[in-house]
Amino acid sequence: MLAVFEKSVGNPPEGLSLPLKGRRQLSESKSGEEVVDIFQSWRADATLYTVPNGSSMALSHEDECPLHPRSIVVVDDVFCIFVGMLENTCELRRHYGLSRQATESMVVVEAYKVLRDRAPYPPDQVVRGLEGKFAFVLFDAKSSTLFLARDRDGSVPFHWAMASDGSLICSDDPKIIAEACGKCYTPFPQGCIFMNRSGLISFDHPLNKVRAIAREDDEGNICAVIFQVDLYTRLRSIPRTGSAANWGGTTAVEGE
């Protein structure tokens, strides 16, 4: 699978851009549009969805792991690519009033819609309710809200990167993303969620900052970045009331 979001939409964390500051890495990285072209040339069976603001989402079943099946659904302008399996799908279907035929991606979309529209819960509480091995990319075209998540064990391959034009790139295929972005990609941190309006947080430690840690080569150039939860830095969430009290706009600021 592949998801490409234009810079103003994806709003990638600054840490992803660190490897791009080297000339060699910058020359290896492609633009967002070039990344989509590479994916389509490598995956002839791919289905491509063009979403607003110059972004794209694509799905292929080639080389799909039976334990980590891929699916995509579009409901009311909400796009969701889901990779993996949920162990509590039946329970979640009942909770959200869905039919027995509802897939994992449909469950995630419904959870997003319910919480966006009616329930003032933070995103970490939503994802903690998902039991299983998974990663997903959800995009609400109406509000330009982007939501990424990966299970706490990192069971499903999921990588992200910044393209040469600043686009945010997400894929479960390391070969595709390496070809597109060179060394300028890194695993999406396990047990974390990312939203383009509020940034990257751990859903098990939502009040702790997730930091980008740069790795350097022998010449002192940044060659890789990993993201880790800093258990020593606390964040203070800002309470919201009224119509603003929804997890789609959750904000966190660094505390003292």
Three-state DSSP class for 137?
A: strand
What pLDDT tens digit does each residue of the chain (256 aa) get? 999 999 999 999 988 887 766 545 555 678 999 999 999 999 999 999 999 888 999 999 999 999 999 999 999 999 999 999 999 999 999 999 999 999 999 999 999 998 788 766 788 888 999 999 999 999 999 999 999 999 999 999 999 998 889 899 999 998 898 888 877 789 999 999 999 988 999 999 999 999 998 877 767 677 778 899 998 888 765 444 334 444 444 444 343 3
Contact status, residue 32 vs residue 6, Cβ threshold 8 Å: yes
Strand order in the sheet with 70-75: 70-75, 78-86, 132-140, 145-150, 192-195, 199-202, 208-216, 222-237, 252-254
**How much is the pLDDT for 119?**
64
Question: What is the pTM for the complete model shown?
Answer: 0.87
Give the domains, in start order, of the chain with CATH numbers: 2-234 (3.60.20.10)
Q: How far apart are CA 167 and CA 172, in angstroms?
A: 17
Contact status, residue 191 vs residue 135, Cβ threshold 8 Å: no
Contact status, residue 97 vs residue 114, Cβ threshold 8 Å: no
**How much is the pLDDT for 114?**
85
Closest CA to 123 of 206, 234, 219: 206
